[in-house]
Amino acid sequence: MNPLSKRTLAALVLLFATAVGCAPGDRSPGQQQRPPSLREFPTLLSVDSLVLPIEPYLFTDRQVARLLQARAVLTASCMRRFGHPWPVPKSAPPDTGTRNPANTAHRYGLTDAVAASRHGYHPAPGSPQKQVKSKVAAGPTPAPAHMLVATGLNEDGTPAQQDDSGRALPRGGCLGEATAALSGSPDKIGNRELVGAINIGSYQQSQRDPRVTAVFGAWSRCMQRYGYDYADPTRAPGRSPLYQTDTAGPAEIALARRDVSCKRDTNVVGVWSAVDADYQRRVMREKKPELAAIAADIRTQLANADRVLGGH
């Protein structure tokens, strides 16, 4: 749920790379496994119907919001037990605009020709991404005594065994108690690390695959014909300071339209998504028991959240 630390993310990517036979530092072609073999690539002009293999093992945005809402309810109940008020949001956190767990709408960059023509690299006005970006909801900072009970941590970050009145605290405080009620562990809620490693690892690995780099080269040459110099689609300046304005200008829209048209002309999305998916399938074949347990864990967490929210 929370963003992974750089150290944790690096460890997960290393785990994935090792699983597919290409750990960092292992550069000998004879020692690495060959890239996944694909006989043909689909021609994709849209990502609307694209589903990646790992998605059944990832929580959707809506499910994540439901988990967080249930955790907030349980946390508030625990805090009241210790005599501390704790706010519960009236509704689930806002939708981020991610249509599916693997975020295929944005995974391969800008792909929507209509959106490119209207908004460039900017979110559409009124879209969930725009609303989330514009919302800065900052409430009052909780008192140290409240935070001690909520997190189970002293101000120096060390675990606390008791609150200021000497009452025993649950592991991880009230947040830990609420998390454990949903997932069985005070330290984990939502997606498990393995599926995150597969999802992130396949995306990174696919960008180094020779078939993907070849289609990136074709896209780059297409862009050059229209005066744009980008080595691959991941360099297209969706986040460039030049385009961090309130609305898209003519230059941004022209670039965005050409980005999408060159992706279509060279079948970037078809090739890239097929390779991405095949790297996922390779690791998933080796992790069937773990993934079966993760699927059961998803059902358990959601059922627990439903019970909490059903009675709230």
pLDDT (tens digit per residue) in 144-202: 999 999 999 999 999 999 999 999 999 999 999 999 999 999 999 999 999 999 999 99
Residue with tokens 């749920």: 1
Number of Cβ within 10 Å of residue 11's Cβ equals 14
Q: How far apart are CA 293 and CA 287, in angstroms?
A: 10
Q: Higher pLDDT residue, 312 or 241?
A: 241
Residue 46: the pLDDT is 85
Q: Are 75 and 150 in contact (CB under 8 A)?
A: yes
* Angle, CA 36 vertex, CA 233 and CA 196 arms, to 5°: 65
| pLDDT (average), residues 77-85 | 95
**Amino acid of residue 268:** V
3-state class (DSSP) for residue 274 = helix
| pLDDT (average), residues 9-31 | 38
Residue 31: the pLDDT is 33
| pLDDT (average), residues 38-56 | 86
Question: How much is the mean pLDDT over the chain?
Answer: 83
| pLDDT more than 90, % of the chain | 62
3-state class (DSSP) for residue 11 = helix
Residue 237: the pLDDT is 76
Tell which residue, 221, 231, 216, has the closest CA to residue 269: 216
Q: How far apart are CA 219 and CA 261, in angstroms?
A: 9
Tell me the whole-structure pTM to 2 decimals. 0.78
Q: Does 133 have pLDDT greater than 90?
A: no
- Tokens read off for 284: 């998933």
Q: Does 94 have pLDDT greater than 60?
A: no
Q: Are 129 and 87 in contact (CB under 8 A)?
A: no
Q: Does 126 have pLDDT greater than 50?
A: yes
